[in-house]
Amino acid sequence: MKALRLLMLEDTDTDAEIISYTLKSQGLDADICRVQDEAAYTAALVTFRPDLILADYTLPGFSGLEALAIRNERARSTPFIFVSGSLGEEKAVETLRTGATDYVLKDRLHRLPAAVTRALQEAKQREDKQRIAAELEAERKLIRAIQDTAKALIIVIDAQGHIQHINPEAARVLGQPRLQLIGSIFWNTCVSEHDTKATRHQLRLAFKSARKGSQVWRATSRNGQAIMWSSSILDTGVRQSSRIVLCGIDITAQEIAEERVHFLDNFDEVTGLPNRKLFLQQLTSACEKFTLQPDHKLVVMLISFPRFDEIRDSRGEAVINHIMAVMVQRLRAWQKRNQLLARVSDSGFALAFETDETHPMSDVVAEVQAITGRSIEFEGMQFVLPSHIGTATYPRDAGEALPLLQAAEAALHSAEFQREQGHTAYRSLLTVESNERLQLESELRRALQQDELVLYYQPQIDVRSGQMIGLEALVRWQHPRLGLLSPDTFIHMAESAGMMRELGSRVIHSACAQIREWRQQGYQPPRVAINVSASQFSTPELPEYIAALLRDYGLDGNAIGLELTESASMKNPQATTAIMARLRLRDVSLSIDDFGTGYSNLSYLKRFPINHLKLDKAFVQDIADDADDLAIARTIIAMGTQLEIDVIAEGVETEEQLQLLSKAGCHHVQGYLFSPPVPAASCPALFSYPFAPVTGTLRSRKGQRA
């Protein structure tokens, strides 16, 4: 129990000590604040906040009555006891009349502990009474608020159904004036004709079963509102005077919301098509109704459009919604027997239909690809969307709806993973492959934590001088079970599983750490180019992150370069330009990778503050045999020259490729002709390694290929 806070107004030291001793001797644990003048007394009322005040009647320059007056003004509920040497009857009466709790003469201090205890008890009782009174008043206000302002509809009726009382909310919801409703028959004025009979039955039950609980029922009002009513009996002692209190809740909005929830739970909001949940229910019914016939089958087809995210990021949600609407129209128009259509993912649809062997699946897939692959126009722009398709057949691939849908999903994932194939039909091996991919994905998460990712480096060469101008850092996975894995095995998986930011961050850290290590060993490595994913580059904080990383490793911006794919750079070109500009201020070199494979807008390309274009190896590998590839390569090189952007050709493997690129004006290359990607330990031997310039031979001065 906390100590009593006692404020003592007393100017005599001896008296103060005697008073303190008297209280403590009777077991009153008091924290005493003693004051002697008005200023200290007034301040203590605020800072000390006493539970009780003991005051001498007469003090030099300040009287006890003045102290009492201040108490009355600033802390009226605090008990106040005069402790004085002499106090006549007249003065004693005056102190009590003025508000003092009690008075004790100093020659009778044995009375003081009891007076203090009594004063505190009385103060507590007053506090409790005030609290109870406040609670009762709050309760009355609450009841009035419930009746007058609550959303509940409150109506009191007699045994004959006459309305005796109705609150404003009930009149508002029912759409009729209160005075007009008073005295009317409840079921004739407040309930629709369709629900009148049921309502009267519920009210009869309410009167008959008054002691067994209330009745609850739903009824539509005369103005069409859905009301949930409950009843309770008043005055049950005399049946003739019994009344029913009806409490109603307007559930119109709730029912609309429930219908909305049901829609969202079963349908796609954008297209209005069934979602995956409802499609699975429909597919279950279709499987149950399917009649096995020779050469007859039920097919589940999943279609995904990989460019959806790209278009959404660059053009916005309105374009995607328009494309979705067009696709729905086309797929609905493509009719098959007992066809079902649903949107089962953010970027894809599901079809279920019956077909026979007279329509080979390859022909059916070709039809779907033809109708979905036609260009779609929106606000003057043309969009063409390639698709991935996975199919599974009932009952051959699965005997129930869920396994059948999962089989189609496994086929779709296989088509997406292989990329170059537009369609994959389910086979049992796909489930094994899917499980292996899931296991590999789990192992990749572990690999990010256990430093199983390593960097290899491939030189970039200036063919005019034979000097190495850069290294491209290429990530590999040193898998404990499968050995060294190339990025083609796991990068797409990392992207789809949302691990690219963490993976990319580790690559940048590893590259910077390696550059620092080489320098500490006395080498001067060239600029190291690091690939950056679209998710990393879309982060506005990337320039500050790179700057902090360079500081941590003691490097300047010229030590590294960042490579961004062409398609990723165009997802949000305005934001890309701003981020690039901030990186260039830090002297970080920038490249557009895989140039020519995406869809660059040249008006943006010339605005990008980039240093290099990477000519994709797809145009280099057949450059000696394919006139179109040579023409594309020459065009890109010429464009880079005009824009004063250095072009680096990737995948150079033959001397003939190099001669053609050099004649076209491309002087910077990388590829196996010079060196494959090598581990960091092998790089120092290449830093000063002389590569012969283009003079008819591409041999090193030692006579060995780099």
Task: Catalogue the active-site residues.
Answer: 650
Beta bridge partners of 4: 30
Amino acid 394 reads: Y
The closest of 613, 560, 550 to 589, measured between CA atoms, is: 560
Q: Which residue reads 């070199």 in tokens?
A: 589
Q: Is 397 helix (H, G, I), strand (E, B) or coil?
A: coil
Please list, in sequence order, all residues whose beta carbon lies within 8 angstroms of the beta carbon of residue 691, skipping any fewer than 6 positions away: 459, 461, 463, 466, 467, 468, 674, 698, 700, 706
**What single-letter amino acid sits at 91?**
K
Question: Which residues does residue 220 pair with via DSSP β-bridges, in sequence order?
Answer: 226
Find out whether 591 and 613 touch, Cβ atoms under 8 Å. Answer: yes
47: CB partners within 8 A, 6+ apart: none
Q: How many CB atoms lie within 10 A of CB 345?
A: 18
Rg over CA atoms, the chain? 44
Q: Which residues pair with 53 in a beta bridge?
A: 7, 80
- Enter the tokens of residue 325: 């609407």
Residue type at position 283? L
Dist. CA 39–CA 62, nearest whole Å: 10
Cα separation, 244 vs 214, whole angstroms: 10
Q: At CA 355, angle to CA 353 and CA 356, rounded to 5?
A: 165
Does the CA dihedral 425-428-432-435 come out positive or negative?
positive
- What's the rounded Cα separation, in Å, for the pair 452 and 442? 13
Tokens of 343: 């949107």
Please give the C-alpha separations between residue 263 and each of 251, 267, 274, 277, 640, in angstroms, as whole numbers. 18, 5, 9, 11, 54
List of residues 6+ apart from 217 with CB closer than 8 A: 198, 199, 202, 228, 229
Please report where in the chains the tokens 């045994």 appear, as a residue: 159
CA distance 225 to 495: 51
For residues 608 and 569, is the Cβ–Cβ distance under 8 A?
A: yes
CA dist 82 and 108 (Å) reads 12
β-strand pairing of 527-531 with 560-565: parallel
**Are 83 and 19 a contacting pair, CB within 8 Å?**
yes
CB within 8 A of 600, min separation 6: which ones? 566, 569, 570, 592
Torsion angle (degrees, nearest 10) of CA 244, 245, 251, 252: 70
What are the tokens at 571?
């997802």
The contacts of residue 127 (CB under 8 Å, 6+ apart) are: 77
